[in-house]
Amino acid sequence: MAYITCQDITLRYEALTVQEHLSFTVEKGDYLCIVGENGSGKSTLMKCLLGLKSVDAGTLTYGDGLKRNEIGYLPQQSQIQRSFPASVREVVLSGCLNRRLIHPFYTKADKARAAEQMECLNITALADRCYRELSGGQQQRVLLARALCATQKLLLLDEPLTGLDPLVATELYAILRHIHEEHGITIIMVTHDVECAVRHAKTILHIGKHESFFGSCADYEKSEVGRRFLGESVTQEHCSNCDHGHAHLPVQADGGEREAET
């Protein structure tokens, strides 16, 4: 049974219907990228997957032992979040709260898990630094470690590369590949970067205002909607944010990263 099954769902944003008759599954071990036009319902779908909103028609079910509070979530960052006045250790530890439910205090196991995830993301040296003093790439590593504290099964990422320069974005893709392949974490990522999505994901969910696609990356590249969004020549080129090789987990930078202008 799949981790998540959406069958013939309808999504509404306020009074506006943004998706109808949408069906797809997320299998254990999948790496799914969700792409599509602005206003097509990607953010609304994310809220439904997280259980923050119910689908307006159809069914969304969790299976294969996955519980809603076992989903790690890396949201889009707002300026307020970027300025959050807490230490890196405190931010990472807060990811354990999702699984603790009514228990408000961190256990030794929680602290050990946070330390493990900081080590995995190469941010242990930043543990006592203030989160808001970090570069954009460092902040994304911290938030990813936080999300990993919440799950050993499924990561949900909402536009994690927004505002990052190409070098930092490439490093983040390598980290996600390492987490997926070496730790067996299933990944769902919303992204506007369609070219990189087809090079890193296993499956693509394209949701549009008038048409949708769900299937393998290879089939997406051959589909009408895929060809239109990728372009005939782009499918043969190397995206500036992509790394085709199976690189080792990159070493965390010392703060020399810079955020791209937006």
- Provide the residue ranges of all domains of the chain, joining segments of one domain with +: 1-26+48-66, 69-216
Query: Distance (Å, rounded) from C-alpha 110 to C-alpha 143?
Result: 16
**pLDDT tens digits, 225-259:** 999 988 843 444 445 555 544 444 554 444 433 33
Query: Distance (Å, rounded) from C-alpha 221 to C-alpha 230?
Result: 7
Mean pLDDT of 119-141: 93
For residue 79, what pLDDT band results from cuts at 50, 70 and 90?
low
Is the separation of the CB atoms in 11 and 173 below 8 Å?
A: no
Query: Distance (Å, rounded) from C-alpha 144 to C-alpha 253?
Result: 16
Query: Closest Cα partner for 137 from 162, 160, 164?
Result: 164
Q: What is the pLDDT, as a whole number, of residue 81? A: 65
For residue 1, what pLDDT band results from cuts at 50, 70 and 90?
confident
pLDDT mean across residues, the chain: 85
Q: What is the pLDDT, as a whole number, of residue 258? A: 36
**pLDDT tens digits, 182-214:** 999 999 999 988 998 999 999 999 998 888 999
| Residue position matching structure tokens 């199976």 | 246
Query: Distance (Å, rounded) from C-alpha 107 to C-alpha 68?
Result: 22
- Give this prediction's pTM: 0.84
Asked if CATH classification 3.40.50.300 holds for the domain at 69-216, the reply, yes or no, is yes
